[in-house]
Amino acid sequence: MDKATVGGLVMAFGLLALAVMLAPGGSFLAFWDAASAAVVIGGAAAATCIAFPFAALFLVPGIMKKVFNPKVSDLRPVIRQLVEFAEIARRDGILALESKTDEISDPFILLGIQMAVDGTDAELMEAVLRTEMEAVAMRHKTGKSLMETVGRYAPAFGMIGTLMGLIIMLGNMDDPAAIGPGMAVALITTLYGAMVSNMVFLPFADKLGYYSKRELEVREVIVRGILSIQDGDNPRVLEQKLNTFLPVSQRASEEKDAA
């Protein structure tokens, strides 16, 4: 569970609720309007249906799930595993890694090790692994684009709903008592559009982009590690090369533990 995502959502909506409670005469009922919600949410969903193939819309639940429960490997155990494989290959030969394939849980590492054990040419192996990385990057790009699209259309439909509300209000100018409530309802639609966009979908898109970058970084480490193992590089040299991908704070911790 991504605690930052959950905490951010709770904080955002909590602050808005607190503002309503602290405002003189504030009322939660004043901020609810079913028609406004229908225009913003329904309109953004409809526009997204137009922008993407229908099949892509079924990916939305899974994409949103990744925001709360991302599956990105930590770099440190990946580096340790690759260094361990390098030690085995250097001591017993690269064919000895075949006995370790049952212990590999990451399909990407498994693919690379199997190709290395089979004696695949280094250039071909790198091309296959990088093609797999590109396919992952494209899937991530589609998910991020879906979130950004909803986030872009929601404020637009908020404005459309506001204009509709103003037109209805101006059509009933003969009733002065209805002008104030009518204006409030019109503005609520803009509020909903801004909230849906800036508190949910655009932040979700940014979080997906962050995790996509992290996953591709892990895969880059794996590609370089497996190519080094195939080349017979010294495990200590390999560890030093791969540790450069760690954040500075983690590198310092690794060096301290090694000392």
User: Over 70: is that where the pLDDT of 183 sits?
Assistant: yes
Name residue 187's amino acid.
Answer: L
Mean pLDDT of the residues in the chain: 85
Predicted confidence at residue 223, as pLDDT, reads: 92
Question: Average pLDDT, stretch 119-147?
Answer: 90
The predicted pLDDT at position 153 comes to 93
Model confidence pLDDT, tens digit, residues 80-120: 999 999 998 888 888 888 888 888 888 899 999 999 888 88
Calculate Rg over the CA atoms of the chain: 26
Q: Is the pLDDT of residue 259 over 80?
A: no
Say yes or no to pLDDT of 133 above 80: yes
Q: How confident is the model at residue 149 (pLDDT cuts 50, 70, 90)?
A: very high
Query: φ, ψ for residue 96 (rounded to 5)?
Result: -65, -20
Is the pLDDT at 127 greater than 90? The verdict is: yes
Backbone angles phi, psi at 103, to 5 degrees: -90, -5
Predicted pLDDT at 180: 67
- Tokens found for residue 255: 């060096």
34 vs 188: CA distance, rounded Å: 10
- Asked if 202 and 147 count as a contact pair (C-beta separation under 8 A), the reply is yes
Q: What is the pLDDT at residue 257?
A: 53
Distances (CA, A) of 31 to 17, 143, 189, 201: 10, 31, 10, 20
What's the pLDDT band for 241 if we cut at 50, 70, 90?
confident
